[in-house]
Chains A and B, each alone.
Chain A
Amino acid sequence: MQEPRKTLRGLSQAVLKAARSMYNMLPILSGIILLISLVNTWVPKTLYTSIFSKNPLLDVFIGDLLGSILAGNPITSYILGGELLTQGVSLLAITAFIVAWVTVGIVQLPAEALILGKRFAITRTLISFCFAIIISVITVSILKII
Chain B
Amino acid sequence: MNNKNKPRQKIQGNRKQGKAGWYFFIIVITLYVILLILNPAKTALSFKSFFSLIIKITPTLMLIILLIGLFNYFVPPKKLQEWLVHGKGTNPGIQRIKAWGIAIIGGIVSSGPIYLWYPFLAQLRKSGVRNSLIATFLYNRAVKIPLVPMMIMYFGLAYTIILTIVTMIFSVFNGLLLEIIIDKKNY
- Which residue numbers of A lie inside 8 Å of B, CB to CB? 10-11, 14-22, 24-38, 40-42, 74-75, 78-79, 81-82, 85, 91, 95, 98-99, 102-103, 105, 108, 110-112, 114-120, 123-124, 127-128, 131, 134-135, 138-139, 142-143, 146
Contact = CB atoms under 8 A, between A and B. Distances in A.
Given A79-B154, A127-B177, A142-B166, 15 more contacts: A18-B65, A25-B21, A31-B24, A33-B53, A38-B46, A42-B42, A74-B144, A81-B155, A91-B159, A98-B163, A108-B114, A116-B134, A123-B178, A135-B166, A138-B166
B135 interface: yes
Contact of A34 (B28, B138, B155, B181): B28
B84 to A, nearest CB: 16
Contacts of A120: 131, 134-135, 178, 182, 187
Nearest to B1: A20
Contacts of B163: 95, 98-99, 135, 139
Nearest to B45: A41
Contacts of A18: 65-66, 68-69, 72
A128 B45 CA distance: 32
B72 A116 contact: no
Interface stretch (B4-12, B89-97, B167-175): B167-175
B109 interface: no
Given A22-B119, A34-B50, A124-B135, A82 B72 contact: no
Given A108-B114, A120-B182, A127-B174, A27 B154 contact: no
